[in-house]
Structures are given as structure tokens and as C-alpha cells.
Amino acid sequence: MSAVSPSSASDAIIACDGLSKHFGGVRAFTDVAFQARRGEVTAVIGDNGAGKSTLIRCLVGVHVPDAGSIVFDGREHPFSNPDGARKAGIETVHQNLALIDELTVAQNLFLNRELVRRIGPFAFLDRKAMKREARSMLSRLSINVPSINQRVRRLSGGQRQAISICRAVGSGAKLVVMDEPTAALGVQETANVEALIRRLREQSVSVILVSHNFDQVRRLSDQIWVMRAGKMAATVRASETSGNELVALVTGAA
């Protein structure tokens, strides 16, 4: 087990230091230092109430931390709301996926980023281009859906998760944040989503992964950060740790 060690900022896509967040009298976390390296999958684990969701929400602009600094892609305090974070290049795969059931796969992939053709003062959807792009986005990540013209409502949980991840990656995000991406999935679907995250790593997409599943975290991530009772308890390389050590770190038995 190594201490929380500061490393050079140049290889960090996002780094924070001395971060604190309170809700009224309730302390979510205090004096947290955290960083995610470029092109790596960085996992954040911890028990319920350890503060990991709040930390993630601070990183993606949903919450504004009370104290501390966040440096994203070399810029300090880059955003104050989720829209700003998106524009800066942080995409979040929400736990509820933020998909529109009644729209098609292609429409969802390009939602609020639609490609248009301008004719005079009017802008019309370039549906052909969007469908073509959608197919290549999906095939780049080897995601199988019956058809890009299918309504998302009719897809399985794993396919929906894949679409949501694909949208985040396809937008050209510098960092993709996933909150419990397999929490609601069955065994086979979990395997599919894990394979997808592995492909993201092969393609050097920077990912922050929040998970409860220690085995999954060891399989998927490069670096693991452990939160316990509102503090950053430890950080370890995934390749140098064991499931037992992670359990010990999370519960404080170490």
C-alpha cells in the first residue's frame, strides 16, 4: 500500500487537491487529493456514504466544492456547472443513462449535437450523415445493436449502457466519467460493458470509473483510489493489489 502521492501534473488529465464538500452540517468529504492519468482507467471505490459520488459530482461540475482546487487538462477551476464541464471535455455516463426512450439510437447518439446542413437562414438535420457517423461510432467500439433506427426503449439494459458510453466517447470527450456502469446489469451484459471499457482503455480514452465491485475494478482499471468515511484512504496500482487488500482498505481493517 502506498501513500497518496502527488505525481507530476503533466500526465494527469484531472487532478484535485485539498478538496472539501459539506452539505449543511453533513460532511461529504474533507481534504481529498485525487488524480486521474491521461489514457488510463482510474477507479474510485469505497463503501456507501464514503463520499465517492459527491467527489465525482464535484469533478463534473454538478456540485461546487467548498474548498480545494481542481485542475482539468491544465486549467484551474475550469467550470461551475455540468454544461461547462461538457464543453471543457468531461462527459458523464449518468447512472440513469440520460437516454430518450422514444428516440432512435442514432438520434440519441447525436442528441443536442445534431449535424445540420444550412440552407440560407435555415438549418436542417443531416440525417444521412448522422446515421453514417452513428454506425461508425458503434462499430469503432464494436457495439452491436439491432439497428440504429431502433427506438432505445426496445434495447436491453446492456445495450442502453453501451449507447450511453458510446455517446460520451463519440463526442470527443477528453475524460469519460462512469458512475456504476454495471450496477443494474446481468452477468452477460456486465461482461459486454466491461469489454467495452477495456476497448476504451486500448484506445487510450481517459476514464474515471466508480464501482462497488472490487473484482471488476481490478480487471478494468490501472489505478485504484479508495475512499473511506469522507477521506481519500489510499491509492494503489490495480496490478499490484489483491481483492483482499482492497476489502481491507475500504473497510479500514488494514
Partner 1 sequence: MSNPTNNAPAAHSAGAPEESRPSLSALLLDPSFWADWASVVGLVGLVIIFGIAQPVFLSVANLQALLLASAILVVLSIGQTFVVATSGIDLSLAAAVMFGAIVLGLVNAAGYGILIACVLAVLATSAIGFLNGLIITVGKIPDFVVTLGTLSAITGLGLILSGGEPTMVGSTFLLKLASGSFGPFGYPVWVAISAVIVAHIALYHTRFGVHLLATGGQTESAGALGIRTNRVKIAAYTISGFCAGIAAILLVARIGSAEPLINTSLLLNSVAAVVLGGVSLFGGRASILGPAIGALMLTALVNGLTLLSVSAFYQPLAVGAIVVLAALIMRYQK
Between 5 and 96, CB nearer to partner 1: 96
C-alpha cell at position 185: 446489469
Integer Cα distance of 122 and 118 in angstroms: 6
- Residues present in the chain in total: 254
Nearer to partner 1, 31 or 83 (CB): 83
The answer to whether residues 99 and 154 touch, using CB atoms and an 8 Å cutoff, is no
**Cell numbers at residue 89, please?**
471535455
| Beta carbon nearer to partner 1, 48 or 96 | 96
Taking the complex as a whole, the smallest distance from the CB of residue 43 to partner 1 amounts, in Å, to: 23
- For residues 48 and 28, the answer to whether their CB atoms sit within 8 Å is no
Residue among 74 and 146 whose Cβ is closer to partner 1: 146
User: Minimum distance from CB of 151 to partner 1 (Å)?
Assistant: 6
Q: Closer to partner 1 at the Cβ: 116 or 247?
A: 116
DSSP state of 144: -
Q: How many CB atoms lie within 10 A of CB 139?
A: 10
Interhelix angle 157-170/127-140, rounded to 10 degrees, is 110
Q: Which is nearer to partner 1, 27 or 132 (CB)?
A: 132
> What is the smallest separation between the CB atom of 100 and partner 1, expressed in angstroms?
4
CA distances from 113 to 127, 171, 251 (A): 12, 8, 43
Q: Nearest distance from residue 180's CB to partner 1, in Å?
A: 16
CB of 70 to partner 1, least distance (A): 20
CB of 84 to partner 1, least distance (A): 10
CB of 43 or CB of 138, closer to partner 1: 138
Between the alpha carbon of residue 184 and those of residues 159, 210, 220, the distances in Å are 12, 14, 18
What residue spans of 5-156 are helical by DSSP H?
A: 52-59, 82-88, 105-109, 127-140
Residues forming the site for partner 1 (CB under 8 A): 82-83, 86, 94, 96-104, 107, 111-112, 114, 116, 122-125, 127, 135, 138-139, 143-151, 153-154, 159
Rounded distance between C-alpha atoms, residue 150 and residue 146, angstroms: 7
Q: Give yes or no for a contact between 98 and 152, defined as CB atoms under 8 angstroms apart.
A: no
Output the smallest distance, CB 102 to partner 1, in A.
4
